[in-house]
Structure 1
Amino acid sequence: MKKKITVNYIFNLLYQILVIILPLITTPYVSRILGPDGIGTYSYTTSIVTYFILFGCIGLNLYGQREIAYYQNDQEKRSTAFFEILLLKMCTMTISIIIFIMTIQIMNQYKILFYIQIIDLIANMLDITYFYQGIEDFKKIVVRNVLVKILGIICIFAFVKEKNDLPLYAFIYSFSLLLGNLSMWITIHKYVCKVPLRSLQIKKHIKPTLILFFPQIAISIYTVLDRFMIGLITNNTAQIGYYEQAQKIVKLALTVVTSLSTVMLPRIANLYVQKDQEKIIQYTENSLIYTFLIAFPIMFGLIGISCNLIPWFLGSEFLESAQILIITSPIVVFIGISNILGFQYLIPTQRQKIYTISTIVGSCINLVLNWIFIPIFLSTGAAFASVIAELGVVVVQMCSIYKEINMISVIKKSKNYIFSSFIMFILIFALSFILEPTMIMTLILILIGILIYFGLLFLVKDKLIFETLHQFREKLK
């Protein structure tokens, strides 16, 4: 079981990094070609399209993953659940697409981009990644998407040559997403059997998926609405561009931290069906410790290298992104915690009410602070609002389950990671002002940071590090 979790974590980590890092390979190029205004415009239209995707999916991807996980070992029930969820999703996404097309007609700006991004809606309607996540087959997700993502990158470098190529950039991105999702259908027949159409009960899924949908709406307020509000309040697409590019870097870091909760959700859901509460708690606390092991050095590392990274990575036009990156870096730790408590613990154990309340609190904090901060601090204000909102989510979740999850014990066991990360930060932050802002120097800073962090953990003989090394040696034998 441990081996399967480890393998799935590695494959899911590779997939999540793939989804974010491949566009980031193009970021230095695209940033210089499209500029802050082009990036900001695309981010603005995408933020609107994301809401139509959100309302079209109504939480079915997360719900579907959990439901498929419940019936991992029963092909008939698994197949029935798959087709019921698929039909419901197609109905809701079709309605969303129709409303989106009607909305485009009254838009005064960016109509071409909006028409192109209809492909995004179709791609999400056909997305069945949740099924493979539910049966814990993360390998297929990675393999099926690698070639498609790489093809998209090649097309961007080959065809996007000037600022006027923004619609072409949007098309390449959207079509790559569609192609990747279509590829997941190739092997689906191996895992599902034929189910009589009359036996399908779509209605029974509406209420439980809506329960998961409401917190997703709340989450979207402080993950998508910030871009929309920056554009609405400042009327400056460049400000959206600064914010968007800093967030891309943070998202890349988050993939490493949050991949574990995605892998563990179906595992915890399966344990919940078996009523093994002791093992659920054990997995959750261990996951939190592991999250701290990687989240704290990433957070302090981002702060330490930001001023050295941004000038060469994004270009001189995006220098404002460095400050935003520094401010938003703590999100890596906060989202790491909330993902474990929310996605790994609360949702699989059907504690959606607490999860929903925490996200609503976070969205309210974010919405209010955005209205206060953005007019004064522009995109930097949105960064402050996002960090405080994520902290609010964590506080609510921790207060709600403190009797079950011993957070004090988890923090005590993680003190080495916090201390070592802080020492690492002081040294690389000082060096960042001495070294030239080039790719080589940034890589040197990262390497120095890694050596300092793990070197300190070896000095204090950290238990988790030595256990991991022992397991690695045993596998080599």
Structure 2
Amino acid sequence: MKLTSNSGNSIFMTMNKLVLGNLSSLSQTVYFDNSDKVVRILLAFITAIGTVIFPRIANSFAKKDHQSVEKYLTLAFNVVNLVSFPIVAGVIAISHPFSSIYFGSNFDGIDLILSILVFELIFMGWSSIIGNQFLVAINKPTWLTISVFISVIISLGVSFVLVPIFGVSGAAVSAVTGEFIIAIIQLMVVRKYINIFKLFSDIPFYFFSSLLMFLASIFVSHFATGNLFTVLVQIVTGVTVYSLLIFMFKPKSIQEILSALFLKISLK
């Protein structure tokens, strides 16, 4: 049976709900489930990037054009990072007012759970490219199952340690840990096909730009009133600051992404 990275996420969620139900309270299970639904909505947008690049990777690998394989994989990986890092920072920044709007006052404290679970997006974005696309494209799907199996075992152990102490927060950390393990194992597998360091070369730009975006969003929130207005102001500020910083830093991957985008438009 072949498991995908998304299957792993479903297993983590089900497993953590069961652990929470037995070692914690029903209300905490509801907190966890609702936070997970928000993350899944955002994940659909990020993982869609991988499906676009899959045919090119598979075709290049079939032709033994390893240079193109690395080129397309690196491009897709950077697009995922370009999008996922600011989304994570943005969700954490707006988590409190957003939770009040989306979940209501009865879910006080759910913003913390959402702020932890949203880190899954980065690692699931990586595994959507490395695992669901690249490993499948090069006919190595067995490693998908292996990575998910190992991560489930580790995540289960983390849950049994953290949930009795931290409740739903521990379950959230367990889920993020599981996704991290999947991504790391898959990266170790593909390192003989591609330059791993090249994949991560522009991450410092995305990280620091997202961090400064987060700080700017938090700063402007102190001058806004009302949850909805605060969220809107934070989003506009965050998008503006992040965009300006990315174009100021001009990481090499941005030039490659824009070149690929303009080439696709010109071909149309």
| TM bucket normalised to smaller | 0.7 to 0.9
1:91-240 matches, within 5 Å, as 210=1, 212-213=2-3, 218-234=8-24, 236-240=25-29
Task: Name the counterpart of 2:47.
Answer: 258
Q: Does 1:320 align with 2:103?
A: no
AA at the equivalent of 1:222: F
Could you say if the C-alpha distance between residues 254 and 220 of structure 1 is closer, same or farther in structure 2, counting changes exceeding 3 Å? closer
Pairing partner for 1:388 from 168, 177, 185? 177
Q: Distance in 1 between matches of 2:198 and 2:62?
A: 27
1:77-128 residue CA offsets vs partner (Å, 9 max, x unmatched): xxxxxxxxxxxxxxxxxxxxxxxxxxxxxxxxxxxxxxxxxxxxxxxxxxxx
Task: Name the counterpart of 1:89.
Answer: none
Select between 260-269 and 338-347 the one with higher mean Cα deviation: 260-269
Q: Distance in 1 between matches of 2:145 and 2:33?
A: 26
Task: Name the counterpart of 1:406.
Answer: 195
AA at the equivalent of 2:12: Y
Could you say if the C-alpha distance between residues 310 and 219 of structure 1 is closer, same or farther in structure 2, counting changes exceeding 3 Å? closer
Q: What secondary structure sits across from 1:224 in the alignment?
A: helix
1:289-320 residue CA offsets vs partner (Å, 9 max, x unmatched): 11111111111111111112111221001122
Q: Distance in 1 between matches of 2:105 and 2:68?
A: 51
1:429-468 matches, within 5 Å, as 429-465=218-254
Q: How many residues align?
A: 266
1:152-183 residue CA offsets vs partner (Å, 9 max, x unmatched): xxxxxxxxxxxxxxxxxxxxxxxxxxxxxxxx
Is 1:308–1:432's contact at 8 Å kept on the other side of the alignment? no
Task: Name the counterpart of 1:268.
Answer: 57
AA at the equivalent of 1:227: K
Q: Distance in 1 between matches of 2:175 and 2:212?
A: 26
Q: Distance in 2 between matches of 1:270 and 1:388?
A: 33
Pairing partner for 1:397 from 164, 167, 186? 186
Q: Distance in 2 between matches of 1:246 and 1:439?
A: 19
Deviation at 1:467, TM superposition (A): 5.7
Is 1:250–1:328's contact at 8 Å kept on the other side of the alignment? yes
Could you say if the C-alpha distance between residues 342 and 421 of structure 1 is closer, same or farther in structure 2, counting changes exceeding 3 Å? same
Is 2:93–2:214's contact at 8 Å kept on the other side of the alignment? yes
Deviation at 1:273, TM superposition (A): 3.8
TM-score normalized by structure 1? 0.51
Is 1:307–1:432's contact at 8 Å kept on the other side of the alignment? no
Pairing partner for 1:358 from 147, 152, 160? 147
Q: Does 1:329 align with 2:118?
A: yes
Pairing partner for 2:162 from 356, 359, 373? 373
Is 1:341–1:397's contact at 8 Å kept on the other side of the alignment? yes
AA at the equivalent of 2:15: L
Could you say if the C-alpha distance between residues 423 and 438 of structure 1 is closer, same or farther in structure 2, counting changes exceeding 3 Å? same
- What are the ranges of 5 or more consecutive residues in structure 1 without an aligned counterpart? 1-209
Pairing partner for 1:296 from 58, 68, 85? 85
Q: What secondary structure sits across from 2:201 in the alignment?
A: helix
Deviation at 1:228, TM superposition (A): 2.8
Report the aligned-residue RMSD.
2.6
Could you say if the C-alpha distance between residues 214 and 309 of structure 1 is closer, same or farther in structure 2, counting changes exceeding 3 Å? closer
Is 2:4–2:131's contact at 8 Å kept on the other side of the alignment? no
TM-score normalized by structure 2? 0.88
Deviation at 1:264, TM superposition (A): 3.1
1:272-293 residue CA offsets vs partner (Å, 9 max, x unmatched): 4444333222211111111111
Is 2:29–2:168's contact at 8 Å kept on the other side of the alignment? yes
Task: Name the counterpart of 1:45.
Answer: none
Over alpha carbons, which structure has the higher Rg? 1
Deviation at 1:455, TM superposition (A): 0.8
Say which structure, 1 or 2, has more relative contact order (CA 8 Å, 6+ apart): 2
Task: Name the counterpart of 1:280.
Answer: 69
AA at the equivalent of 1:252: I
Could you say if the C-alpha distance between residues 447 and 239 of structure 1 is closer, same or farther in structure 2, counting changes exceeding 3 Å? same
1:204-228 residue CA offsets vs partner (Å, 9 max, x unmatched): xxxxxx2x14877655321322223
Deviation at 1:385, TM superposition (A): 0.5
- What are the ranges of 5 or more consecutive residues in structure 2 without an aligned counterpart? none
Q: Does 1:422 align with 2:211?
A: yes
